[in-house]
Amino acid sequence: MNTKLSLFVVPFAVLVTISLSNAFAAPVQHGKWIDLTHPFSEKTLYWPTAKSFTLEQEFHAHTDKGYFYAANRYSASEHGGTHIDSPIHFSEKGKTVDQLSLDQLSGDAIVIDVARKAATNRDYQISVSDIKAFEAKYGRIPKDAIVLFRTGYAKRWPDAKSYLGTAERGQDAVAKLHFPGLHPDAARWLVKNRTIKAVGLDTASIDYGQSKLFESHQVLMAKNIPAFENVASLDKLPPTGSYIAAFPMKIQGGSGSPLRIAAMVK
């Protein structure tokens, strides 16, 4: 290689290396991961009519060949614990779990905190004014953001009576559910005025416990916007500046799935 070519190639190679390094580092760098997922166990909370999580041990011992081996089998309803509601859950033509892109399930997030209001009203519904108050303080919700709502109820987990409003099971228990959610008017405002990837909150449903029509579900999922429910540790996230990765089990045709959700905070 001649000297002139060498002087050109070496700096070029360095620039390419730096560019690739930056590309692979973005968008989550110089921060820490925060797990927003409640563990799945016999204590995991489910809708009163849903099958709870069970883990059965198949083998847990040393084999006859001398090495240790462990294996279990589990079963549960799609909707329980920290999980995702796929749009088809409330929209006949909505996307199933496996049809949601990884891009839609990850991205920059904001956290709208209504914990003080929810602390004094178990049936509190997050309003348009709550969203506008957030924007007045922190700026407009960015395009393609994941919008998370913190009610403070995650700290009640896994006490069913405190978290859900009742520890009873079965159809009759549904009428006794009391926990905060997103008001349908706020859901309509979001889909009309902002472009968002997903919503999530730290209660058992996007709609509040006493909802009969689950209108917020219907509004969001008609626009193929999924919901993350029973999210943990939202108190550890800043109002802006976190990056969410929310990846469910890829259940073909699924209306929902257990979810491992985490946030990268700079």
Whole domain around residue 112: which residue ranges?
A: 32-39+78-265
Instruction: Say if residue 124's pLDDT is above 50.
Output: yes
Is 170 within the bounds of a domain? yes
pLDDT of residue 11: 53
Residues 3-41: pLDDT tens digits? Answer: 554 444 445 444 545 544 454 444 556 799 999 999 999
Q: What is the pLDDT of residue 30?
A: 74
Tell me whether residue 52 is in a domain.
no
Residue 200 falls inside a structural domain: yes
CA angle, residues 49, 101, 44, in degrees to nearest 5: 30
| 11 cis-preceded (ω within 30 degrees of 0) | no
Q: Please check whether residue 55 lies inside any domain of the structure.
A: no
CATH number at residue 114: 3.50.30.50
Residue 9 lies in a domain: no
Cα(202)–Cα(188) distance, integer angstroms? 20
Q: For residue 68, is it within any domain?
A: no
Q: What is the pLDDT of residues 135-145, one digit of tens each?
A: 999 999 999 99
pLDDT tens digits, residue range 228-250? Answer: 999 999 999 999 999 999 999 99
Q: Does a structural domain hold residue 230?
A: yes
The number of domains in the chain is 1
Which run of H or E residues covers position 28? none
92 found inside a domain: yes
